[in-house]
Amino acid sequence: MKCCIKIGPERFHADQIKFFIMISPFAAVMLLPIIYVVFHAFKPVDELFAFPPRFITLRPSLENFTRLLHTANSSNYPAALYIFNSILSTLLTVVATLLISASAGYVLSKKEFKGKRLIMNMNQAALMFVPVAVAVPRYMIIKGLGLMDSFLSHIFPLLAMPVGLFLVKQFIDQVPSSLLEAARIDGCSDYGVLFRIVMPIIKPALATVAILSFQSAWNSVEASQMFIENEKLKTFAYYMTTVTSPSGSSVAGQGMAAAAVLIMVVPNIILFIIMQSRVMNTVAHSGIK
């Protein structure tokens, strides 16, 4: 009772020790595999072959990375090409998703019109949408649109992002309508209101959507596996499946695979670390009522 309610405390107190003890096994299980990948990625060949396997890297080297970037896979393209494709498709996906979600979120939050409820309900239902469940019809639609073997097939399927729209809309709900009214009276069109007033205010929500969209685009193998035959257009996440699966059991392959995992994961983690306070600010409004 009395003082003991200390959620989100200001400073450390001996009472908190039990919580640190509770969390430490979980934190260790979460972190150790990731630390292990970091060590593994920097191991030179002789340490990869060391028996018994050692957790720590004694003489870190960039061998695995250079081998990964220079080794061509079966189709003779170097990893650098796949990395470039990944960066380009991810960048385009994130930018387009932000624009699409922000404009739709603004309309759904601040405008009244026929059909609005229906759209909001559909989006809410689509929060639980599982893209892999409809892989077959998505394949047929891509084919029907003539997007087979096109770079756009990396991007288009990811652009409508129900969670993104949902978070942006919830966030815009917090923006006072009077502020937008004032701008309208000053002669701003809806587009002006959106780009000059709403977008700057909802930066935290946009940062969050950017992270989620980055994650799904950067990790996506759907298009490379199913929609694109031309090796030149495939992405790094796909390339990883070719490095890791056939040679997965070979020890030298494991070093390269670990380096590849790092390339996949580090951008995600850095982005999240940079934006984490904005993300927390956004998800605080994420409740479904």
Residues numbered 66 to 85 that lie near another protein (CB under 8 A) are none
Binding-site member from 127, 149, 182, 230 for another protein (CB under 8 A): 127
Residues 129-168 that bind another protein (CB under 8 A): 129-138, 140-141, 145, 156-157, 159-160, 162-163, 165
Crossing angle for the helix pair 236-247 and 79-110, to the nearest 10 degrees: 130
What ranges in the chain are assigned the alpha helix state H? 17-41, 45-48, 63-70, 79-110, 116-126, 135-144, 152-159, 162-173, 177-185, 190-192, 199-201, 203-218, 222, 236-247, 251-283
Nearer to another protein, 185 or 273 (CB): 273
SS3 for 72?
Answer: strand
Q: Long-range contacts of range 16-22, CB-CB < 8 Å, 24 or more positions apart?
A: none
Q: Does residue 268 belong to the site contacting another protein (CB under 8 A)?
A: yes
Amino acid at 127: L
Binding-site member from 57, 67, 190, 252 for another protein (CB under 8 A): 190
Q: Does residue 117 belong to the site contacting another protein (CB under 8 A)?
A: no
Nearer to another protein, 69 or 282 (CB): 282
Other CB atoms within 10 A of residue 227 CB: 21
Shortest gap between Cβ of 280 and another protein (angstroms)?
Answer: 5
Shortest gap between Cβ of 283 and another protein (angstroms)?
Answer: 4
Q: Does residue 126 belong to the site contacting another protein (CB under 8 A)?
A: yes
Binding-site member from 26, 74, 186, 187 for another protein (CB under 8 A): 26
Shortest gap between Cβ of 73 and another protein (angstroms)?
Answer: 14
Q: Does residue 260 belong to the site contacting another protein (CB under 8 A)?
A: yes
Q: Does residue 204 belong to the site contacting another protein (CB under 8 A)?
A: no
Shortest gap between Cβ of 177 and another protein (angstroms)?
Answer: 15
Q: Residue 48 and residue 253: Cα distance in Å, rounded?
A: 10
Contact string (CB under 8 A) for another protein, positions 32-61, x = contact: -xx-xx--x----------xxx--------
Strand partners, 78: 72
Q: Residue 246 and residue 134: Cα distance in Å, rounded?
A: 27
The CA-atom distances, in angstroms, between 136 and each of 72, 142, 146, 226 are 31, 10, 16, 10
